[in-house]
Homo-oligomer: A and B are copies of this chain.
Amino acid sequence: MKRRTVITSGAAGAVLAPLAGSANAQSEPSITWRMVSSFPKSLDVLFGAMKLIADRVSALTDGKFQIHPFGAGELVPGLKVLDAVQSGGVECGHGPSYFYVGKDPTFTFDTALPFGLNTRQQNAWMYSGGGLELMREFLRGYNVIHFPAANSGAQMGGWFRKEINGIDDLKGLRFRIPGLAGRILAKIGVVPQQIAPGDVFTALETGTIDAAEFVGPHDDEKLGFYQVAPYYYYPGWWEGSAQASLFVNLDKWNGLPPRYQAAIEVACAEANAWSTAEYDTLNMRAMQRLAARGAKLRPFPKDVLDACYDAAFSLYDEIAAENANFRKIYEAWTSYRKDSDSWLRIVENSYDSYVYDRSKRT
């Protein structure tokens, strides 16, 4: 049993040898930290996960350890969170590691790989399968310790102005999609576009782009894409799970009393679970509203999925061949994924598929 994996990481002294009776003024200093986000406050579940962490840490310390959350751009640009934490400019920050694949594609294992682990598997790999240790070893190079701290679950495949009936419909398609998924789609003829969320609606409306992906019904609904690109495709195979992490500057972390370290670690575990639960409830309600307003749900055609799957794993092999960090974690991840797929296919997928089918018919 690898139980200690979770609770010793970074807080070994706190958990394994509680300092019974040793409390004194020094063990509970008054500390104020800033927590910057890669997300705007309008992504209320992701920002809510940050607030939950801050509120919980405060409650656990009788208010002596205060962490103030800031939305993307308030103190630090959303794509510079890791840099700000690394330098110690801020004590901690929250966001998805895969925003930093430009530094090193290895970051993506901390968030999502196209056709990779689902949320259940990501959590199992992180908490129990060795994934968190591997990612921490990698992130130590950035002077950071990190904690899984939010997960959206599987995302949607985005909004399309026209139906996609097969792979030929993707040739030349101008699709707002970032990161590795864009590189994969480029291999089969898509023209990936990088557009800030606030500009996507107009680009879709005017036909500057043909399609755009964002998150899922709850977040997408606010941006109104269904009005100008009604075909809503699934699944978002590039994010079968999407983890955000809390990054903590390693020097600041090492300066914390063990009980404050324990408070951060456990609050992140709670926020990670809570955010998925909250997304599941809000997404199911938003999807009903979107359908009532004319959004047309469509599954990606099988030949599209097949071509993208092949392109994805071909890309991973290419990256692994040239990047030792990526290769090391890719090998461990591939082994875990294969075994986990074999098991969850039997016990979970057979149950889900049967029950969902019956539930639909009754």
**This chain's copy number in the assembly:** 2
B20 touches A348 (CB 8 A): no
A355: contacting residue among B119, B288, B341, CB under 8 A? B341
Tell me how far the C-beta of A115 lies from the nearest C-beta in chain B, rounded to whole angstroms: 6
A351: contacting residue among B51, B118, B345, CB under 8 A? B118
Taken together as a complex, chains A and B put the C-alpha atoms of A122 and B153 apart, in Å, by: 15
Q: In the complex, which residues of chain B have a beta carbon less than 8 angstroms from the beta carbon of A329?
A: none
A20 touches B63 (CB 8 A): yes
Taken together as a complex, chains A and B put the C-alpha atoms of A315 and B47 apart, in Å, by: 43
A6 within 8 A of B: yes
Q: Which of A44, A64, A341, A355 has the most CB of B within 10 A?
A: A355
Tell me how far the C-beta of A228 lies from the nearest C-beta in chain B, rounded to whole angstroms: 22
B15 touches A59 (CB 8 A): yes
Query: A121-155 CB contact bits vs B (8 Å, 1 = yes)?
Result: 10110111100000000000000000000000111
A6 touches B120 (CB 8 A): no
Q: For residue A347, which residue of chain B has the nearest CB?
A: B154
Q: In the complex, which residues of chain B have a beta carbon less than 8 angstroms from the beta carbon of A118?
A: 348, 351-352, 355
B354 touches A353 (CB 8 A): no
Q: In the complex, which residues of chain B have a beta carbon less than 8 angstroms from the beta carbon of A59?
A: 7, 11, 14-15, 18, 258-259, 262
Tell me how far the C-beta of A358 lies from the nearest C-beta in chain B, rounded to whole angstroms: 6
Within 8 A of B (CB), among A44-77: 44-45, 48, 51-52, 55-56, 58-64, 66
B240 touches A19 (CB 8 A): no
Within 8 A of B (CB), among A342-362: 342-356, 358-360, 362
Give residues in A with beta carbon < 8 Å to B: 1-3, 6-7, 11, 14-16, 18-23, 27-28, 30, 44-45, 48, 51-52, 55-56, 58-64, 66, 115, 118-121, 123-124, 126-129, 153-156, 216, 234-237, 240, 258-259, 262-263, 266-267, 269-270, 272-274, 276-278, 280-285, 287-288, 297, 299, 305-306, 309, 313, 337-356, 358-360, 362
